[in-house]
């Protein structure tokens, strides 16, 4: 079985590597290009729509395995629904993204498309969050249909847009998505879910193959066709985590995509404090703030990769702890997460350049300690 997973990843990588130059030519031919402006860091016109290469490599590899080894993907009814919903909903998402890459659709049109894709997952294939388990103890919360359906749609649309929002530097969204997919892969191994292991292996191979052309200095952007597809795929695949009551608590899926979700959360808080519309674009995202601190383009991307890996590690630790009923580890993970988020936000200045309560408190403590030591 391990060889099948490796083969899936390698095949997807080779396909993505071969298809990306073709998609680049196609994007230029149809006029799907990204023009520099005040909010963007690139200084020349770049082809986008690179997500088509990721999607095509994923679908071609997946169809190959559906023909050769269907039992691996369709070992259970739920696995079959997962695969089919990814193909159906993912196709809608990619079409919406590709049209936006070419014609720059309005936010409302894109949102309608995302909700439609989410509805396909929920109503067409029955995938939804029926319950979540509470980190401390064996208790879990059941959701009635009238709660489960909107929660699931909100989750899918939210994660899809979160990945889209961080797509601001060469290789950033692809790399962070790749780290999240790798985390999901580890989680699938822990849960012993062959279908998810294969899906993650294939998707990770697609991302790595595309990164050869997208890492700084990029030769093509993934565009909304790529960021929306990767976000949608992460959202749908991570839904499986909610079903593993004995292993995964509700905090784990949030950790898996911690970077895009936290960046989105801080953007909402920042705009609320500045009394700006929530969806108003700005240059206050994580990658913008790191660039303002003096880090180079590549250094900024690598730092965010490290943050994503940190979140992924916490997710794996949390899942292992939950499987062994080690609730104290969950408590430690939550504390580390909250402190890290607050300190990181204040150091980077992602919410405010002046309001830094935790750093100010640490500074006052250090001043007091130094004063006491001198008096002695």
- Give the mean pLDDT per block of 10 residues along the chain (376 residues): 88 97 94 72 77 96 85 73 88 95 90 94 82 58 76 89 84 92 88 86 96 91 94 86 46 75 79 72 75 86 91 82 67 80 79 76 80 69
Residue pLDDT, tens place only, 11-61: 999 999 999 999 999 999 999 988 765 555 555 788 989 999 999 999 999
- Res 50: pLDDT: 94
Unique residue bearing structure tokens 């939950």: 322
Q: How far apart are CA 209 and CA 196, in angstroms?
A: 20
Q: What percent of the chain has pLDDT over 70?
A: 84
| Cβ(346)–Cβ(356) below 8 Å | yes
DSSP 33: E
Q: Which residues pair with 165 in a beta bridge?
A: none
User: Which segments are annotated as binding site for Mg(2+)?
Assistant: 164, 224
CA 351, CA 231: separation in Å to the nearest integer?
24
Element (H, E) at 46: strand 46-47
SS3 for 201?
helix
- Spatial distance between the Cα atoms of 282 and 368, rounded to a whole number of angstroms: 38
Q: Contact 57/206 with Cβ under 8 angstroms?
A: yes
Tokens representing 340?
A: 């890290």
Rounded CA separation 104/101 (Å): 6
Which residues does the annotation place in the binding site? 164, 224
Per-residue confidence (pLDDT) for residue 34, from 0 to 100: 81
What is the Cα–Cα distance from 210 to 245, expressed in whole angstroms?
35
Q: What is the model's pLDDT at position 262?
A: 82
pLDDT at 265: 79
What pTM was computed for the model?
Answer: 0.85
Residue 52 to residue 253: CA distance in whole angstroms: 26
Considering only CA atoms, which of 202, 201, 200, 222 is closest in space to residue 211?
222
Residue 47, φ and ψ in degrees, nearest 5: -70, 140
pLDDT in tens, 62-90: 999 888 877 777 677 777 888 888 899 99
Residues 89-100 pLDDT 10s: 999 999 999 999
Taking the C-alpha atoms of residue 14 and residue 57, their distance in angstroms, rounded to an integer, is 8
């Amino acid at each position: 079985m391990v060889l099948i997973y490796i083969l899936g990843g390698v095949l997807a990588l080779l396909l993505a590597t071969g298809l990306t130059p073709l998609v680049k030519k196609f994007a230029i031919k149809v006029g799907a290009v990204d023009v520099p402006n005040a909010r963007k860091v690139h200084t020349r016109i770049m082809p986008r729509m690179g997500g088509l290469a990721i999607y095509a490599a994923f679908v071609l590899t997946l169809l190959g395995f559906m023909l050769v080894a269907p039992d691996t993907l369709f070992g259970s009814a739920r696995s079959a629904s997962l695969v089919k919903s990814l193909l159906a909903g993912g196709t809608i998402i990619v079409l919406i993204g590709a049209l936006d890459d070419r014609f720059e659709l309005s936010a409302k049109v894109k949102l309608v498309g995302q909700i439609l894709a989410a509805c396909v997952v929920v109503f067409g294939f029955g995938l939804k969050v029926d319950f979540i388990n509470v980190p401390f103890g064996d208790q879990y919360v059941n959701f009635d249909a009238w709660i489960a359906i909107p929660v699931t749609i909100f989750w899918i649309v939210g994660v899809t847009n979160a990945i889209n929002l961080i797509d601001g530097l060469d290789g950033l969204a692809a790399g962070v998505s790749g780290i999240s997919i790798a985390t999901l892969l580890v989680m699938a191994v822990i849960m012993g879910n062959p279908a998810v292991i294969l899906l993650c292996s294939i998707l990770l191979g697609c991302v790595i193959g595309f990164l050869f052309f997208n890492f700084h200095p990029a030769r093509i952007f993934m565009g909304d066709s790529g960021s929306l597809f990767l976000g949608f795929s992460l959202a749908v695949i991570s839904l499986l985590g909610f079903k593993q009551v004995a292993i995964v608590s509700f905090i784990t899926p949030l950790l898996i995509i911690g970077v895009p979700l936290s960046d989105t959360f801080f953007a909402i808080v920042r705009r609320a404090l500045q009394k700006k519309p929530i969806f108003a674009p700005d240059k206050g995202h994580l990658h913008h703030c790191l660039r303002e601190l003096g880090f180079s383009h590549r250094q900024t991307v690598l730092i965010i990769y490290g943050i994503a890996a940190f979140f992924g590690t916490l997710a794996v630790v949390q899942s292992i702890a939950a499987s062994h009923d080690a609730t104290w580890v969950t408590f430690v993970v939550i504390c580390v997460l909250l402190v890290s988020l607050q300190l990181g936000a204040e150091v980077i200045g992602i919410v405010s350049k002046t309001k830094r309560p935790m750093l100010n408190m640490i500074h006052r403590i250090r001043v007091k300690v130094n004063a006491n030591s001198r008096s002695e």
